Amino acid sequence: MLHTLLLIWAEEKIRNIRELEALQSETYLLVAIFVVLFLAAALLAAQSIAYEGGKNPQDPAKRRTWFIGLGVACFVSFFLYNYLYVKETIVNPALQAKFTDTNTIASVLVAVAYFATGFLLSKVLSNTKFGTIFPTKKS
């Protein structure tokens, strides 16, 4: 992974299928990194919003809004990074088309992983501020 990232940062071009396959693998690894970073930001945002007292508190809605907004930002930033920056390092148009497919799949995977992991985390951390994002109805 480090080799391909260094190639991209050094503005070197990806010229053959072997380099493209390495880039595709690293793109899927980057999915996990983006999800972890944006979930950490969501956890910090949830912690920073104070509890509101009263009959109809609005703090869970604020936390949910931040969570969803960060999820959209995660998807958009991942897609645009790959589309505008990484794709331009690929010389061959046929290889660029293959990477476009990889970018689309990986971007959808980022969104699914972020929201699914966030939902599971809110259930596991149900007694925390993050747990109020997806509240459980108690009978």
* pTM of the predicted structure, to 2 decimals: 0.86
Residue 14: pLDDT band with limits 50, 70, 90:
confident
pLDDT value, residue 15? 83
For residue 108, is it within any domain? Answer: yes
For residue 33, is it within any domain? Answer: yes
For residue 68, is it within any domain? Answer: yes
For residue 137, is it within any domain? Answer: no
Question: Does pLDDT of 11 surpass 70?
Answer: no
Q: How many domains does the chain have?
A: 1
For residue 106, is it within any domain? Answer: yes
- Give the domain range for residue 31: 2-6+16-48+57-132
CA angle at residue 124 from 120 to 125, to 5 degrees?
Answer: 115
pLDDT value, residue 59? 84
Please state, in angstroms and rounded to a whole number, the distance separating the CA atoms of residues 121 and 106. Answer: 22
Contacts of 64 (CB under 8 A, 6+ apart): 133, 134
Least-confidence region, from 3-7, 57-61, 83-87: 3-7
For residue 123, is it within any domain? Answer: yes
pLDDT value, residue 58? 83
> pLDDT digits over 96-107, tens only?
999 999 999 999
